């Protein structure tokens, strides 16, 4: 690894940007589900430390000498982000949005695991970590599929109206695409192709959906948060797609 891959640059840059806006705007619209950290003992301080660690990790993965340590740091951060999404699930297990929130954080953990696989000192460990990252991404894709099914009308409303033929067509199309990607990744049948196409689709979400909304309402912290989170998830999928073996 002489230089960072494009996926690593993208993932790291998105991590830095999200950490920066979270520290700039200490509100629920920016932190979203991660705001549950605030309810923990000394939660505000803990949250700020985690965001600082995310920034450091995003910068550190760009360099050969610090990439593995930075991957560990990001892995710990995203593990904690995932864990803080569990209490709402336990409190209201029939409400799907809580599961969706969990998997939005869990897929970031999969990106960190993929980085650890890419920097593992031996092939056997790299293969195990790579398999875990692939399976985690596949399960997350199942969650994204279900989320779009349960909230199909809201998903359609996110599609820009100027894209033909209509908003509902693309909501259904991307739901099917998520399902096919999940199937391919979990069964390891054309998984690499599916992961790359999934990464491309997620990137297009960020470009077509969130950049226009960000330009239209740059003062809305929620738009910044969704923009960063979308590209963080894209970067995580890209990290898995860049692995040499699953």
Each residue of 73-101: pLDDT tens digit?
999 999 999 999 999 999 999 999 999 99
Per cent of the chain over pLDDT 70 is: 98
pLDDT, average across residues 14-24: 97
Give the angle 8-10-16 at the CA atoms, nearest 5°.
100
How far, in whole angstroms, is CA 184 from its chain's centroid? Answer: 19
Helix (H) or strand (E) holding 243: none
pLDDT, average across residues 165-173: 97
The predicted structure's pLDDT at residue 205: 96
The predicted structure's pLDDT at residue 3: 44
pLDDT, average across residues 175-199: 97
Q: For the chain, give the mean pLDDT.
A: 95
Tens of pLDDT along 39-78?
A: 988 999 999 999 999 999 999 999 989 999 999 999 999 9
Neighbouring residues of 239: CB distance < 8 A, sequence distance ≥ 6: 7, 8, 11, 110, 111, 112, 114, 115, 118, 133
pLDDT at 142 over 80: yes
Phi first, then psi: what are they for 121, rounded to 5°? -75, -15
pLDDT at 160 over 70: yes
Q: Which of 106, 110, 164 is nearest to 134 (CA)?
A: 110
Helix (H, G, I), strand (E, B) or coil at 132: helix
Provide the pLDDT confidence category of residue 4 given band limits of 50, 70 and 90: low
Tens of pLDDT along 202-212?
A: 999 999 999 99
The predicted structure's pLDDT at residue 35: 94
> What Cα–Cα distance (Å) separates residue 13 from each residue in 145, 211, 236?
26, 16, 12
pLDDT at 176 over 60: yes
165: cis peptide before it, omega within 30°? Answer: yes
End-to-end CA distance of the chain: 18
How far, in whole angstroms, is CA 193 from its chain's centroid? Answer: 19
């Amino acid at each position: 690894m002489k230089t960072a891959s494009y996926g690593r640059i993208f993932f790291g840059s998105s991590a830095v940007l999200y950490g920066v806006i979270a520290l700039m705007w200490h509100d629920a619209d920016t932190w979203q589900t991660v705001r549950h950290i605030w309810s923990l003992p000394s939660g505000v301080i803990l949250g700020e430390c985690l965001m600082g660690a995310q920034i450091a990790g995003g910068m550190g993965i760009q360099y050969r000498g610090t990439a593995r340590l930075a991957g560990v740091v990001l892995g710990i951060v995203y593990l904690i982000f995932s864990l803080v999404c569990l209490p709402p699930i336990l409190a209201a297990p029939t409400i799907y949005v809580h599961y969706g929130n969990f998997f939005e954080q869990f897929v970031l953990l999969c990106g960190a695991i993929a980085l650890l696989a890419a920097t593992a000192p031996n092939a056997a460990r790299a293969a195990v970590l790579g398999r875990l990252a692939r399976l985690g991404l596949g399960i997350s894709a199942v969650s994204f599929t279900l989320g779009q099914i349960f909230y199909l009308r809201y998903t359609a409303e996110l599609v820009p109206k100027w894209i033909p033929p209509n908003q509902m067509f693309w909501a259904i199309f991307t739901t099917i695409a998520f399902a096919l990607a999940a199937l391919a990744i979990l069964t390891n049948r054309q998984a690499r192709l599916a992961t790359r196409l999934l990464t491309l689709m997620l990137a297009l979400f960020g470009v077509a959906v969130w950049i226009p909304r960000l330009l239209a309402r740059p003062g809305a912290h929620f738009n910044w948060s969704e923009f960063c989170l979308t590209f963080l998830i894209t970067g995580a999928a890209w990290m898995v797609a860049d692995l040499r073996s699953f």
